[in-house]
Structure 1
Amino acid sequence: MDIRIGIANTARELSFESSQTPAEVEKAVEKALTAGDPFISLSDDKGKIYIVPTAGLSYIEVGGGESRRVGFVA
């Protein structure tokens, strides 16, 4: 599943693929924001951990992983 995170005052977004379900990501974000946690932690498919300050979150886009096509599509 693809995750995109927009961070305030940053020109680029953080984008990575995760094995977490959309419900797990939503639950983690909701928990961090309601509890007033200073950071949110998410992991990708390769085991990297992304720690993002909750105060700087602009948006989080969670989408289904779509297989990428190779070559020309007719």
Structure 2
Amino acid sequence: MEVRIGIVNAPRELNFESTQSSAEVEAAVSAALGSGAGTLELRDEHGSLFIVPTAGIAYVQVGSEESRRVGFVA
């Protein structure tokens, strides 16, 4: 699923594909923001770790878990 994180005062957003479910990503974001943790940690589908300071998060957009279709539709 696609995850987009907007960063305060940054012209671009952090965009990556994750193997985590939308519920897992939502729980991680809520826990990081609610507990006052200094960082949000998420992994992409290749195992790379993204560490984002919670003070700099403008928004988090979690895409649907449906995979993208490739090809032509008749």
TM-score of the superposed pair, with normalisation by structure 2 = 0.90
Q: In structure 1, list runs of 5 or more residues that go unmatched.
A: none
Unaligned ranges ≥5, structure 2: none
Percent identity, aligned pairs only, is 52
Aligned twin of 2:13: 13
- The amino acid of 1:22's aligned partner reads S
How many residue pairs are counted as aligned between the two chains?
73
- The CA distance in 1 between the partners of 2:60 and 2:2, in whole Å, is 10
Shift of 1:68: 4.4
Cα distance in 2, alignment partners of residues 54 and 32 from structure 1:
7
The whole-number CA distance in structure 2 between the counterparts of 1:47 and 1:16 is: 11
User: Which residue does the alignment assign to 1:44?
Assistant: 44
1:67 Cα deviation (Å)?
1.5
- CA RMSD across the alignment: 1.3
Runs of 4+ in structure 1 off by over 2 angstroms are: none
The 2-side partners of 1:66 and 1:2 are apart by: 10
Aligned equivalents of 1:50, 1:68: Cα separation in 2: 27
